[in-house]
Amino acid sequence: MLIYVPVFLFAIIEGEIYYITMCVAAAAGKLAWQGVLVAGALGGATGDQFWFYLLRGRIHWLDRYPWMARHRDAVVHRLRDNKVLILLISRFLPGLRTAIPIASAYAGVNRWQFSLLNLTSAFLWASAIMLVVTKLGPGAMDRLGLHGWWGALVPAALVLLFFNWLGRPRKKRLGHEHIQEEHRRAHKPQS
């Protein structure tokens, strides 16, 4: 049982990297996948809920900052309007895992609703990663000729790369219409 404590602790601190590594160990038969999944999900939820409960009812001090005060209502309304969806996908959004619990505390989300939806999200997150690494990945890799722990390592690396990509800020791209408008402005006859 103590062998799963590091999975729990690392899921609190950083999320995917250690958890995926332990999923590979489970796929290789070195750990029970159920223990890894439960420890990872509970650790992920604990990390999220730490910020929510730490700041719940204490976050009004952010209103001292003009930028936060200006955006408070938009954040609160957006979160309240989409609360269930945002909380259910929060574990799948690496760049927002701390921001969503903080915004939830700021918006005054009900503690039971936050806790239950966050815990559900954590189990969905842990299950999805475990499924890809231990079940879907190795079978596909076996058909490609990669056997043993390599069969779990390749899907684990792909899941890790996916979460890394998902958490990166999106580069602003200029749309076709925007480029045409800029071209028109640049070539507009001077009057």
C-alpha angle 126/33/146, rounded to 5°?
95
pLDDT of residue 168: 55
- Residue 149 included in any domain: yes
pLDDT of residue 183: 56
Q: Is the dihedral of CA 108, 112, 116, 122 positive or negative?
A: positive
- Residue 158 included in any domain: yes
List the structure tokens of 143: 């058909």
φ/ψ of residue 47, rounded to 5: -60, -45
Could you read off the pLDDT tens digit of each residue along the chain, which spans 191 residues? 799 999 999 999 877 889 988 998 998 889 999 999 999 999 999 999 998 999 888 777 777 777 766 767 777 777 788 889 889 988 887 767 788 888 888 888 999 999 999 999 999 999 988 988 887 765 655 665 656 655 566 666 666 665 555 445 555 555 556 556 655 665 666 55
pTM: 0.70
pLDDT of residue 166: 45
- Residue 189 included in any domain: no
- Residue 179 included in any domain: no
Could you tell me if 147 and 28 are in contact, meaning their C-beta atoms sit under 8 angstroms apart? no
Distance CA 152, CA 138 (A): 5
- Residue 117 included in any domain: yes
- Residue 144 included in any domain: yes
Number of domains in the chain: 1
Q: What's the domain range around 137?
A: 2-170
Burial class (CB in 10 A: 0-12, 13-18, 19+), 93: middle
pLDDT of residue 159: 62
- Residue 166 included in any domain: yes
C-alpha angle 130/41/84, rounded to 5°?
105
- Residue 180 included in any domain: no
